[in-house]
Structure 1
């Protein structure tokens, strides 16, 4: 399996960012890491190995990006600065990572995918930019970071503003009314996967119900057990990516 390491200083984030790329061709996949994890974790957890056949066959090319969750959602900064830092991260993906991918891969299609908080990142950015992404896969994800759940706090300590609203799929998706945006979302291949015993199950159901209300086609799969571990994600990526 072809593997390449890349690193550059991000002007948007003001720091060096790293990435691993697996494969030589195929539809590019931006693969977001789990909460406060890093670009190498999916390789270490053998999630990349689970996709080896697809990667070697040139079906997909996987770009494992790094996260800055510890500087945004999980930082000690005031809530407005937490969401502002997240918005900078999204700008980094849009204005640095995607242009880099376009220099490496000429495919028009682009997939966003992730597990746990990475699934949030994938769905959030894809739903806001359906003109860029053609497919999204969210696995074991939480789509409202303002909702306190068992073992999971409200990541903004009760604070809420417009920036937070437009970065929480369970908030902004029900309010989508722009015909062009709805048409683009209806053309996107959308897959949500969650475990039956996962704390985020109702969170996923809410998003699925919102998509149904907007007549946005999507696939919603509920796995047995919690299904919120690398051993499950290794199986999920074989099926959904």
Structure 2
């Protein structure tokens, strides 16, 4: 446990890493904060904060690298270009990371997706677009409108399909009914330092929760107080508070 495994990105001459923490229990796919690495989750105390669940065999974390440096964090690229590049990351999750997780746990099992800051976007977005694989997502201090991330240029189909605030608003008919039956989202955010400026996590989380409510998509919004900052010590507390009821 805790050893880094490199998995190739389909169609690209590079690989991204996955690290497992835990022997048994419900698999949790963990996304790091912006441009982060698989090591960040443990290095910042998140495994230790829930060590009782790991030791009891209730949860196994599968932490992945981000690809933000060549997607959402590349501010020289247009929003549409970044959204298009993001598709390669999704293909890696679908074609490399999740099959490796399935092999580790002995077959396909529904996963929980979890992320902090920009990782919360990845967790919620992946679950809402892959609810058959990840019916539950947990976003801590996330921002869910990619068009607000220093974007520029015309925005087309790739941006729409990568932007939860857009495609959830556009959901209707049978697909919306299926999402209502299948998906569930937990959004947690604080009112303290850096949750408004510069991250916009608090207003974005509240706006996204309102949209989920309007669409009838099962979700929970948990807003912590003015002492709750956009930082790892608070994410440790929030995860330890919420995760036990899901595994």
Partner of 2:139: 138
Give the gaps of 5 or more residues in structure 2: none
Return the alpha-carbon distance in structure 2 between the equivalents of residues 116 and 188 of structure 1.
Answer: 21
> Is the contact between residue 80 and residue 153 of structure 2 (CA under 8 Å) also seen in structure 1?
no
- DSSP-derived class of the 1:118 partner: helix
Return the alpha-carbon distance in structure 2 between the equivalents of residues 230 and 56 of structure 1.
Answer: 21
TM norm structure 2: 0.88
- DSSP-derived class of the 2:122 partner: helix
Return the alpha-carbon distance in structure 2 between the equivalents of residues 32 and 183 of structure 1.
Answer: 25
Partner of 1:231: 233
Give the gaps of 5 or more residues in structure 1: 148-153
Answering whether residue 179 of structure 2 is matched by residue 184 of structure 1, we say yes
Partner of 2:213: 212
> Is the contact between residue 146 and residue 158 of structure 1 (CA under 8 Å) also seen in structure 2?
no
**1:13, distance to aligned residue in structure 2 (A):** 3.9
**1:107, distance to aligned residue in structure 2 (A):** 5.9
Answering whether residue 81 of structure 2 is matched by residue 81 of structure 1, we say yes
Partner of 1:150: none
- DSSP-derived class of the 1:201 partner: helix
- DSSP-derived class of the 1:77 partner: coil
Return the alpha-carbon distance in structure 2 between the equivalents of residues 13 and 203 of structure 1.
Answer: 33
Alignment of 1:94-113 (within 5 A): 94-105=94-105, 106=107, 108-113=109-114
Deviations 1:102-140 (A, max 9, x none): 111136221111000000000111111111112100000
When you count helix as a share of all residues, which structure comes out higher? 2
Return the alpha-carbon distance in structure 2 between the equivalents of residues 210 and 136 of structure 1.
Answer: 16
Answering whether residue 165 of structure 2 is matched by residue 170 of structure 1, we say yes
TM norm structure 1: 0.91
- DSSP-derived class of the 2:35 partner: coil
Aligned residues: 234
- DSSP-derived class of the 1:35 partner: coil
Runs of 4+ in 1 over 6 A off after TM superposition: none
**1:158, distance to aligned residue in structure 2 (A):** 4.4
Return the alpha-carbon distance in structure 2 between the equivalents of residues 13 and 141 of structure 1.
Answer: 28
Alignment of 1:58-77 (within 5 A): 58-75=57-74, 76-77=76-77
